[in-house]
Amino acid sequence: MRLIVSIFIVFLFVSCGYQPSSKFARNIVGDKVSTSVIISIRDPENSVIIKDSIDAAIIEVFHTSLVDKKDAKVHLVLSISNPSYSPIQYDKNGYIVAYRTTIVLHIKKYFNGISKNYTARGTYDFNIAPNSVITDQERFQAIKEGTKKAIKSFLAQISAEGSK
């Protein structure tokens, strides 16, 4: 019985033409991508973190390899606006105990001499101890996770183009 149900489910996905969104995105991005991040003069530490998390997210989300710019089919130039931190939860004494970090990425995609601009947003919620400040480690983690979500938002935009 399990075999019949399994075969039916596989047949259902194959017959309806299901394709994962990463396949559509890969049609647009290709299998060789290069990236560069515009370093923020006001906050260079965040730019380094963003570069690392962008590279990791591109490998994880697009299932592609990172190469030098001269070998790439697509080149992505990314910049980040300053991360914003908004309080989202207070304790009974009025102290902030949770923040939401919002990351806005500006992405310029170069492909065959044509460029296209995208804006992607990612958020990340985190807790802190009451009446304390956000530590560097919490800030870096929030930026990293928010950037991953922004890259996934970019993936959705690219997938929509690839499905057309």
**Span 27-39, pLDDT tens digits:** 666 678 888 888 7
Tell me the HSE value of 130 on the side-chain side, using a 13 A CA sphere.
Answer: 7
Query: What is the total count of domains within the chain?
Result: 1
Q: Give the C-alpha separation, 82 to 71, whole Å.
A: 31
pLDDT recorded at residue 16: 58
Note the pTM of the prediction, 2 decimals.
0.74
Within a domain: 12: no
Within a domain: 13: no
Mean pLDDT of the chain: 81
The band of 99, judged by pLDDT with boundaries at 50, 70 and 90, is very high
Q: What is the CATH number of the domain that holds 132?
A: 3.30.160.150
51: domain range? 20-162
